[in-house]
Structure 1
Amino acid sequence: MAKTPTKFLLIFPTSLILIFFYLSFFPQKHHLNISFLSKLLLPPPSNPLVNVTNHTHNDISTVTMIVKEEEKEKKKKMNISKSSFNKLEDGLARARVAIREAARSRSYEPEEEEDFLPRGLVYRNPYAFQQSHKEMVKRFKIWTYKEGEPPLVHQGPMSYFYGIEGHFIQEMEDGEMSSMSKFIASNPNEAHVFFLPFSIVNMRTAFYKPLDYDRAPINNVVLDYINVVAMKYPYWNRSLGADHFMLSCHDWAPEISFANPKLLKNLIRALCNANTSEGFLPMRDVPIPEINVPARQLNQPNLGLPIIKRQIFAFFAGGNHGYVRKFLFQQWKEDEEIQLYEQLPKNQNYFEMLGKSKFCLCPSGHEVASSRIVEAIQADCVPVIIKDNYSFPFSDVLDWTRFSIFVPVKKIPEIKIILKGISSREYMELRDGVKSVKWHFTINRPSKPFDLIHMVLHSVWLRRLNIRL
């Protein structure tokens, strides 16, 4: 019986030491109640308190103090995060009020440094648009996740049909070297949205051989990346992905959502392939224009001629693929006024042909996305958009009926009647509209207010305004 207290005294310090190290190494994973723990470990009041304090150990009161300090620090960080979050939401609420007031009053006081004023019938409400852009420049902050290595992440193609992907990623990542630096958050707590900078195009190049159409590798990489940032940071789980966005012009990009529809149902997808029949949701997702970025310059040459010198009534050149183009060629291949080419003659220049045409046909191919719309706009040619289930880029602010003609696929046999029915006055208004919106479809590096990259960003900004976290 006399040996029992000795055994207890030997076991007790050892238990404290083990528990202390357990708490020291795993303080954030296990929220232990130290007060309750102390009551369990302390001997009855009649026995003296064992002091195991030395240069490598702490007694229970010291352990309690350390843990309390950690909890205070944790609470402090949580309060800072909550304060930052409330500040963000308050700023968005103020932006909404300002935009609604501008839309209602149809007035706006331009600032001195503004070079571009969105005015005219091509805008649904130019005053609301300008105020919204002003609020975006004033408030909008984006955090680009740093995780991952190029080329799958932080890098994208810079030319040809998918070039917008690389240019947007680079603008977001250039920091102080980019005109977008005003939008880049210095830390994630001040961000309104979070950019997932992976490249679907580069994944396609890295993982696939010709004629390999298995989407699983791309889907797995995307899910892995989201899991990494969701486990490392609280922001994805906080909003269930509603304030996160990705951007890609690849035809396969929309399909990443099918990898885990429940996980990705709130993710904002900025896509060229904006097909509403394939799950694209205009209220959540962002339609962006596909651009065939030249290899040695950002935009195509403008070889547009004055109207009086445009001798081609309607023009299209491109591969005869997809049911829309096949239908188009079937109906109008032999027509003299509607000039269709699967391949241009060697002595003809594509951009010169656009510049000689009154109407430029923009049919869907394998997918609804096509660079033909931007090519037509850049050539001052009225685009004739022949697509079904297509969500038009920047349609939140632009009225496409003011600068383009929309022809449903079923009305392809009526194209000539439709176009011939447009009066000279109506055509001039459409042509003026094309010129008015050209800046919004122009790439600049660094990006400039109201140009294409700013317009893409503004579309994301509007989606963020639509949600309250």
Structure 2
Amino acid sequence: MIPKVKIFGGCVVSIIALGAAAVCVSLMFPLFFAEESRSKGILFDFVKWSTSSNVIDNSLQSPDVMVDGGLDSVCEQQLKVYVYEFPRRFNFGILKHTQVDLDLPWPDDEVPPPWAHRSRVEKSHSVEYWLLVDLLEGRRGDKQFIRVRDPKQADLFFVPFFSSLCYDTYGGKRTGLVSEDKAIQEEVVKLVVESPYWKHSGGEDHIIPLHHPNAFSFSRHLLNASIFIVADFGRTVPQVSSLKKDVVAPYYHVVPTYEDDNPDDPFNSRETLLFFQGTIKRKDNGIVRSKLADIIRNETGVHFEDGIKNETGYHQAAEGMRNSKFCLDPAGDTPASCRLFDAIVSHCVPVVLSDKIELPFEADLDYTSFALFYSVEESLEPGWLVSQLRNVSQVQWLQMWNRLKGVSHHFEYQFPSKKNDAVSMIWQQIHRKVPDIKLRIHRKERLKIADWWNW
């Protein structure tokens, strides 16, 4: 193992002795010229020794260094998170199966209700639910955070509003010109901005999930200093939401995870070359789907069909993905789509056609190791896309397939959460934003003139 030392802040970091390696190599150069065969053997042994598991920690050999044993796992300092005590009509009450007074917050001595009796489409944006139940259950010592009761101790403040579910439940129901969804948003904004915790920081240390592209659409600009948990940036402007301050979270996949994917011949057992089953006629970014349908749906080895949003349709989609080498992920109405995450948990190599997509956990995961990315323009050239996929060798495909099996657990929402699952990964992304947030807040507290930096 590489020697480890402590540095300021109590973090433990691994020191890779690059300088020592350089010295050793330089010392071997005279040997090389003096006795070529012997020096080659020494150099080979040195390289073999320097890359062996006895010298380099296995975690450093993983593409997921930051996830699977790198800096995040050894420099953990638990976040202190305060949860606003909102009436449950802003969160669990929207699930419609709690009998407790909806004007009271959720009590600490009760297990949060399950996500039940809701559609799979609604569940795809349920990140708000999984984060809140994780916070309420946060008694285990292995979590990235501690839920604190005293807001003065908090690093961050969580706003327990199910904004996506609120839109799905009330957004289409109009009373005159004002929707119930809008009225609820206004209530939430009032509760938050009148809080002394918000006023202290200007909201920069607040976490607000709004995963659905239309979630909090009437009022998000009033809380735009906060950390938003989003699916993408398709229906926001840079003044409201951005990669710098916000966290991109995966959709909850609507097809089940492929648990027993261990065939003798994975490449040839997947008989379909390219699979797509979903809504073909979409608007905005999604118009690419209709164009693709005209170009590739009749190609040999391609399955391209409209999907049906019922249990039969979801079952067909799951079976189709598991029987396909590549799964097409064109943009939906916004750049992101649930289809990417369905493909990942089906271990079907995603083919992403979305020019402005942002991806969850990309600081930790190299998506190019398990997915293919093409521009919309090139993919619409007749015959081009299918020919590209046919040119992917069996060896290349197997590498990506194996990689998918190794990363799919990062996209699982579950309760209780587990290390490096989707909920855990989201907390890691949030955690990284805290130092910059504290810097800005502390500077504001001591400045005597207007801040001169454009943050």
Q: TM-score, normalised by structure 1?
A: 0.66
Match of 1:285 in 2: 246
Q: What letter corresponds to residue 270 of structure 1 in structure 2?
A: I
Name the counterpart of 1:411: 378
Please show how residues 292-331 of structure 1 align to structure 2 within 5 Å: 292-293=253-254, 299-302=256-259, 304=261, 306-322=266-282, 323-331=287-295
Give the CA deviation at 1:184: 1.3
Cα shift at 1:355: 0.9
Query: What residue number does 2:70 align with?
Result: 130
Contact map agreement 2:94 2:169 (CA 8 A) in 1: no
1:205 deviation in Å? 4.7
TM superposition shift of 1:197: 0.8
Count of aligned residue pairs for this structure pair = 355
Match of residue 65 from structure 1: none
User: For the Cα contact (< 8 Å) 2:258–2:322, is it kept in 1?
Assistant: no
Gap runs ≥5 in structure 1: 1-92, 107-116
Contact persistence 2:144–2:427 (CA under 8 A): no
Instruction: Spell out, residue by residue over 1:383-418, the C-alpha distance to the aligned partner (whole angstroms, 9 max, x if none).
Output: 111112111000121111111111222222232233
User: Going by fraction, where is helix more abundant, 1 or 2?
Assistant: 1
Matched with 2:419 is: 449
Residue 335 in 1 paired to residue 250 in 2? no
Three-state SS of the structure 2 residue aligned to 1:419 is helix
Counterpart of 2:337 (choices 370, 374, 381) is 370
2:74 is the counterpart of 1:150? no
- Match for 2:213: what amino acid? D
Evaluate the alpha carbon distance shift between residue 257 and residue 286 of structure 1 in structure 2; reply closer, same or farther with a 3 A threshold: farther
* Equivalent in the alignment of 2:365: 398
Partner of 2:431: 461
Other structure's SS at 1:360 match: strand
* Deviation, structure 1 residue 152: 2.0
**1:177, CA displacement in angstroms?**
8.1
Shift of 1:350: 2.1
Shift of 1:453: 0.7
| Contact kept? 1:321, 1:366, Cα under 8 Å | no
| Residue pair 1:354, 1:376 contacting (<8 A) in 2 also | yes
* CA deviation profile, 1:69-90 (whole Å, cap 9, x unmatched): xxxxxxxxxxxxxxxxxxxxxx
TM-score (norm 2): 0.68
- CA distance, structure 1, for counterparts of residue 125 and residue 329 of structure 2: 18
- Does the C-alpha gap of structure 1 residues 348 and 216 become closer, same or farther in structure 2, counting only changes over 3 Å? closer
Give the SS at the match of 2:292: helix
Q: What corresponds to 2:348 in structure 1?
A: 381
The one-letter amino acid paired with 2:406 is S
Q: Which amino acid aligns with 1:282?
A: L
SS in 1 for 2:327: strand
1:420 to 358, 365, 390: 390
Q: Which residue does 2:198 correspond to in 1?
A: 236
Q: Which residue of 2 aligns with 1:271?
A: 230
- Looking at structure 2, the residues matched to 402 and 204 of structure 1 have their Cα atoms a distance apart, in angstroms, of 36
8 Å Cα contact 2:228-2:247 kept in structure 1: yes
Letter in 2 for 1:372: R
Offset of residue 176 of structure 1: 3.7
Could you say what the CA RMSD is over the residues aligned between the two structures, in angstroms?
3.5
Question: How much has 1:253 moved relative to structure 2?
Answer: 2.3
Q: Percent identity?
A: 20
CA distance in 1, matches of 2:178, 2:351: 33
Q: Which range is displaced more, 247-256 or 127-136?
A: 127-136
Equivalent residue, structure 1, for 2:41: none
CA distance change for structure 1 residues 135 and 314 in 2, over 3 Å: closer, same or farther? same
SS of the aligned residue for 1:446 comes to: coil
Question: Structure 2: which 5+ residue stretches go unaligned?
Answer: 1-7, 19-57, 96-114, 442-455
1:11-42 CA distance string (max 9 Å, x none): xxxxxxxxxxxxxxxxxxxxxxxxxxxxxxxx
CA deviations over 1:171-222 (Å, ceiling 9, x no partner): 2223548975952123212211111110123422553446899787545533
Which amino acid in 2 is paired with 1:245? Answer: I
Distance 1:371 1:206, change over 3 A: closer
Shift in alpha-carbon separation, 1:150–1:346, aligned structure 2, 3 A: closer
Query: Which protein shows a greater Rg?
Result: 1
Match of 2:126? 163
Using the alignment, how far apart are the partners of 1:423 and 1:205 within structure 2? 43
* Shift in CA distance, 156/363, structure 1 to aligned 2, threshold 3 Å: farther
Once residues 176 and 277 of structure 2 are traced to their aligned partners in structure 1, the CA distance between those partners, rounded to angstroms, is 27
Where does residue 9 of structure 2 map in the other structure? 94
Q: Which residue of 2 aligns with 1:357?
A: 324
Matched, 1:249 2:211: yes
SS at match of 2:89: coil
- Aligned residue type for 1:268: I
- State which drifts further: 149-158 or 166-175: 149-158
Whichever residue aligns with residue 191 of structure 2, its letter is: V
Contact conserved, 1:357 with 1:381, CA < 8 A, in 2? yes
Provide the rounded CA distance (Å) in 1 between the counterparts of 2:347 and 2:162: 32
Deviations 1:352-387 (A, max 9, x none): 211111111111222223221121111111111111
Distance 1:409 1:169 in 2: 37
Q: Does the 8 Å contact 1:270/1:287 carry over to 2?
A: yes
Q: Which amino acid aligns with 1:416?
A: V
Say if 1:143 and 1:105 are closer, same or farther in 2 by CA, change over 3 A.
farther
In structure 1, what residue type is equivalent to 2:251? E
Query: Whole-Å Cα distance in 1 between the matches of residues 67 and 141 of structure 2?
Result: 27
d(CA) in 2 for partners of 1:139, 1:303: 35
Contact 1:155 1:166 in 2 (8 A): no
Alignment-mate amino acid for residue 423 of structure 1: S
